[in-house]
Amino acid sequence: MKILKTSLNKKDFLSLNDLCKEEILSILELSKNLKKDLKNGKSSQLLKGKTLAMIFQKPSTRTRLSFEIGILQLGGTAIYLSSNDLQLARGESIEDTARTLSLYVDLIMARVYAHSDIEKLASYSSVPVINGLSDIFHPCQILADLLTIQEQKNTFNGLKVAWIGDGNNVCNDLVLGCSKIGMNLSIACPPGFEPNNDVLDVARKEAYRSSTEISITDDPLIAVRDADVLATDTFISIGKDGERQRREEIFLPRYQVNSDLLNLAKQDCIFMHCLPASRGREVTSEVIDGKASVVWDQAENRLHAQKALMSMLPLK
């Protein structure tokens, strides 16, 4: 497949809504090339001399490391900024923080609680802003996950993805990703834990265009039937710790991905999880450590997909 586009239309990447199918496929293509180059010891200095500011309101292992190492491998530099260490902690506005950072860096990545914070950051920055996770979206994860699915299955056409559990930030971008790229998606979640309604409205229109289906049920046994991909995430996202007991009572045992559930999917079904996982809760160790699991490919692909994304954003 050739690279269809070399730069993205929108300045910012806040959710999969910011990309069209052609742009997603181009990012995946460049990701694969960068991955191959890295494995062959070839360095690509696509971001030579560029600087990335990374603001974190929440903890992270994969996002922080993959962005920092990714830009380093492309010849640039990353600066880690805990929001507690910025003047943000003393009340400086996001607007003024955005204006200030734009004077120094070429690119901003932020992990925030409220999605409105990253929208504000993007509106007031003159440089591209990437969402490294908000309460509604986690688009970088889904780029890596689409890359992983493409590597594993060699196609998206006709595939069925089943999402079991919380209709959370990762699920919202998966809904957009599947509908844009053309995969069927079946979501099983307890009533009240469905994906975001606005996201579903957009995705249903995309799904209509790509002749695919998005279905929502409360029954994991229905969602998993004939699935090529089975995905889940924690029931307790960052910031939801106060709801731990209530959530565990609602989600367990019905929404756990275990071998019995996996066995109801297609024989060659892969298991996906963005990590970090709570083993014994949303997934058993038997599944996450089993032969269907591609969770380490997903984690690795964060690096390659984000290198491609950063290289394709319209930097000054």
List, by residue number, the catalytic residues.
111, 138, 141, 233, 274, 302
Q: Is 212 in the site for ligand NVA (CB under 6 A)?
A: no
Q: How far is the CB of 89 from ligand CP (least distance, A)?
A: 21
Would you say 272 or 274 has its CB closer to ligand NVA?
A: 274
* DSSP result, 87-112: GGGGT--HHHHHHHHHHH-SEEEEE-
What gap in Å lies between CA 159 and CA 226, rounded to an integer?
Answer: 9
Q: Is 312 in the site for ligand NVA (CB under 6 A)?
A: no
Q: Which two tokens stand for residue 315?
A: 């930097």
Contact 159, 153 (CB under 8 A): yes
Q: How far is the CB of 141 from ligand NVA (least distance, A)?
A: 7
Residue from 274, 292, 305, 308 binding ligand NVA (CB under 6 A)? 274
Residues 110-139 contacting ligand NVA, CB under 6 A: 133, 138
What gap in Å lies between CA 5 and CA 189, rounded to an integer?
Answer: 36
Three-state secondary structure call for residue 53: strand
Q: Is 170 in the site for ligand NVA (CB under 6 A)?
A: yes
Would you say 63 or 210 has its CB closer to ligand CP?
A: 63
Beta bridge partners of 79: 53
Would you say 63 or 311 has its CB closer to ligand CP?
A: 63
Query: Which residue, 248, 233, 134, is CA-closest to 187?
Result: 233
Contacting positions for ligand CP (CB under 6 A): 60-63, 133, 141, 274-276
Would you say 238 or 315 has its CB closer to ligand NVA?
A: 238
Cα 174–Cα 310–Cα 163 angle in degrees, nearest 5 = 10
Cite the DSSP H helix spans in 182-258. Answer: 197-209, 220-223, 244-251
- Which partner from the list ligand NVA, ligand CP, none does 53 bind, CB cut-off 5 to 8 Å by kind? none
What gap in Å lies between CA 305 and CA 81, rounded to an integer?
Answer: 22
* Element containing residue 55 per DSSP (H, E): strand 51-56
Q: How far is the CB of 274 from ligand CP (least distance, A)?
A: 4
Q: How far is the CB of 20 from ligand NVA (least distance, A)?
A: 25
Phi/psi of residue 247, nearest 5 degrees: -65, -40
- Which partner from the list ligand CP, ligand NVA, none does 33 bind, CB cut-off 5 to 8 Å by kind? none
Would you say 274 or 292 has its CB closer to ligand NVA?
A: 274
288-292: long-range contacts at Cβ-Cβ below 8 A with a sequence spacing of 24 or more? Answer: 290/259, 290/262, 292/230, 292/262
- Which partner from the list ligand NVA, ligand CP, none does 61 bind, CB cut-off 5 to 8 Å by kind? ligand CP
Position of minimal CB gap to ligand CP: 63
Beta bridge partners of 187: 163, 216
Would you say 256 or 298 has its CB closer to ligand CP?
A: 298
Number of residues lying near ligand NVA (CB under 6 A)? 10
Q: Is 238 in the site for ligand NVA (CB under 6 A)?
A: yes
Three-state secondary structure call for residue 40: coil
| Binding positions for ligand NVA, rule: CB under 6 A | 133, 138, 168-170, 233-234, 237-238, 274
